[in-house]
Structure 1
């Protein structure tokens, strides 16, 4: 058996034997329960999950008609958060881990849509995993049945990409007539309305020198963060943009 076939077989075996524990569909959503006990089916204390995106223009990153991925962050339901929760799992070889799990298509997608402003994607991914991914308690290794080393890493990155694919910020803004321009400016309320319409709840908008460059989508989750049910909830953080005159410059 050649190396490629052996690797594929190993990945299939790992995926078939490393499933997260099944969670009841009757359990409550994170942040909406009085429980303060983290379990493999209840995200705590990071009960709010934020899918965060960038619009980088100096330098430009990613396709000219798409925002890019920043990460998936657990928030303590109040705008505060824990970070870098498990140094023993702060892996720096994310590409190697994903390749060992047969997730080559995922790597290709991340190289296009989850990109570092300085061109060092590997370090960016490692940072997002170590700082935020290790703080998501429902993907702790002991939450897996038949756990295989680093399975939670691949599951995390796959989930972030899946969420991102369902949140096309560029398309939602364009549908409201909000497109990149060197001369036009937009209001905070118009941008917020367009993205709230897509997401189902208000979002955080970030600006730098009056230029739109970030959006955070907030969720509560019923069950674990990979297989659970996601419910859009309003932002926990006030916007970092002015009310008028917001620039949305082209890449």
Structure 2
């Protein structure tokens, strides 16, 4: 039966849709087009920097304005293929893409997920109702499926509806999301002294995850880390 299904519905490349060797595997062209991260980078925000000789190295931005989270890591740099996958998951109702993203995200996470509360960046209920699902929650579920983290889908609430952040600079984004997040009271005791991993699809300026991280730190989380599929590098921010 598996052979019949494979012949009738062969695995497709998540990027371009061409026939692939197996599910969640890119074709050679799309694989080469992805800019995988994980080399020399800022030890805190994960921005690639050429002279980061050790994991405690910090970029100038983090030294001048330290973010409220401990570490941020992304699997790939934002680009055409990374964007295509994010849009398919976010608007194309392709939930299987979450597992495709989770594979390289798990690689850059290292031991980050072990023993951690793994929570998605939340959506406001109005957006959740219109979309039908939270793409970050699908990714978080795919990550925990094969690791030792504890899934906490409702760890953070988003009671304040905010307008789309696309096109806004970092300061404008931070003003927009100020006060938009709060800790779910039922997790108040569980979060104290725990490591938390916040999961999202795309890290642009970090304003949204900064807002979530502040809430978690105030609640007593010992460590807050960010794990994303793609990140917009600083020299790309103006383009996006």
Same fold (TM over 0.5): no
State TM-score, norm by structure 1: 0.27
Greater Rg over alpha carbons, structure: 1
